[in-house]
């Protein structure tokens, strides 16, 4: 049975289709792809810019991943709404 837009659960089912489950948490597909691209570019770019001495490419790649994570955490804001209730009263 198709749901009409007047049905209050219609919006919930429409919003649910924009998310994918990763490690028992729902994330936006768009935000996941954006963060994956940013972190991959930063990690690979830093790795390729590193000097050819043996430990340096590893540290440059890890630094690039950390910088990519920081950029993603600034650009992509959490969409989770937490509602706190007092228990026992």
Report if residue 83 sits inside a domain.
no
Report if residue 87 sits inside a domain.
no
Report if residue 18 sits inside a domain.
no
Report if residue 7 sits inside a domain.
no
Which residues is 22 bridged to in the sheet? 25
pLDDT for residue 1 is more than 50? no
pLDDT for residue 43 is more than 50? yes
Residue 37 to residue 1: CA distance in whole angstroms:
38
- Domains identified in the chain, total number: 1
Report if residue 9 sits inside a domain.
no
Report if residue 84 sits inside a domain.
no
Lowest model confidence (mean pLDDT) among 1-5, 28-32, 81-85: 1-5
Confidence of residue 79 (pLDDT cuts 50, 70, 90): confident
Report if residue 39 sits inside a domain.
yes
Residue 69 to residue 64: CA distance in whole angstroms:
9
Confidence of residue 24 (pLDDT cuts 50, 70, 90): confident
Report if residue 70 sits inside a domain.
yes
Residue 54 to residue 58: CA distance in whole angstroms:
8
Owning domain of residue 56: 23-75
Q: Per-residue pLDDT tens for 61-78?
A: 999 999 999 999 999 998
Average pLDDT value over all residues in the chain: 85
Residue 65 to residue 59: CA distance in whole angstroms:
10
Q: Does the pTM of the predicted model rise above 0.85?
A: no
């Amino acid at each position: 049975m198709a749901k009409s837009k007047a049905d209050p659960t219609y919006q919930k089912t429409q919003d649910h289709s924009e998310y994918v489950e990763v490690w028992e948490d729902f994330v936006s597909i768009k935000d996941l792809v954006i963060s994956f691209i940013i972190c991959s570019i930063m990690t690979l770019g830093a790795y390729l810019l590193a000097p050819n001495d043996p430990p340096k490419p590893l540290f440059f790649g890890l630094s690039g991943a950390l910088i990519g994570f920081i950029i993603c955490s600034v650009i992509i804001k959490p969409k989770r709404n937490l509602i706190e209730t007092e228990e026992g009263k």
